[in-house]
Every structure is written in structure tokens, then in C-alpha cells.
Amino acid sequence: MTFMDWYNSLAKPAWTPEPAFIGLMWQIIYPIIILTFGFVFVQAARRRIPRAVVIPFLINLVANVVFTPIQFGLRNLTLASIDILVVWGSIVWLVMAIWKHHRWVAVAQAPYFSWVSIATVLQLSITWMNW
């Protein structure tokens, strides 16, 4: 069974976005992540911000990258739910960490945070419905 066949077979809330819409949202958000996270990493490498500020960005990046292999490779809904909670929480953390240094980076996370908030509720709902 392909990962899409598996995903389509899951019980999902009626408000679940179509896969194409989900893909479109990530196509909008990933450039924001690349630009802002890259800026933070460069600023930390140049010692213009404390290196500790980078920690939530790194955690977020790793958690974001491993979500798809967990969800669609391992097909582990519970672990994917834990992972997306890490993604969501680390966005809150990184916004707080960068706020006093570069507010524009924090504000630029609004679309990312909004989408991940929706995705988190969706993931938790799917996990609950397929328990």
C-alpha cells in the first residue's frame, strides 16, 4: 500500500484540507523558514546574536524534517503527533528567543505558526480518530 493509499484510508475530520492544499501551504512557508532560519544561523555564526538563540531553531528544523518520514514512512501516528507538538512548541520558543534581537524574524514566523497550529490540531485529531 502506498503512503497516499494509507493516508487516504485513515479516518480524518471533515475539515481536513486536500493534500494539494497542504503541499501549497508548505511551498509558501518553506521559503520563509529558509530565509529567516538562514539569517539566524548566519547571525549566530558571526556572533551577532548568542549561539543559544539557535537552539530552538535547530530543534524546530530537525523536528520539521523528520515529521514526514515518521508519518508516512513509519506510519506512526502517535510519534508523528509528538513530533508535531515539538514543532509547534519550538516555534513558540524560537519566537521568544529571537524577539529581542531581530523582531522581524519573530513576526515572519506568523504564517508558519498559524499553519503548524492547524496541522497540529489535524494531526492530533487523526491520531485520536485512528487510535
Work out the burial of residue 112: count CB atoms within 10 Å of its CB; fewer than 13 is exposed, 13-18 middle, 19 or more buried.
buried
Give backbone dihedrals phi and psi of 107, rounded to 5 degrees, phi first: -65, -35
CA 61 and chain centroid, separation: 8
Predicted TM-score of the model (pTM):
0.96
Domain that holds residue 58: 51-131
pLDDT tens track, the chain, 131 positions: 899 899 999 999 999 999 999 999 999 999 999 999 999 999 999 999 999 999 999 999 999 999 999 999 999 999 999 999 999 999 999 999 999 999 999 999 999 999 999 999 999 999 999 99
Contact of 70 with 79, CB cutoff 8 Å: yes
69 in a structural domain: yes
Give backbone dihedrals phi and psi of 94, rounded to 5 degrees, phi first: -70, -35
130 in a structural domain: yes
121 in a structural domain: yes
56 in a structural domain: yes
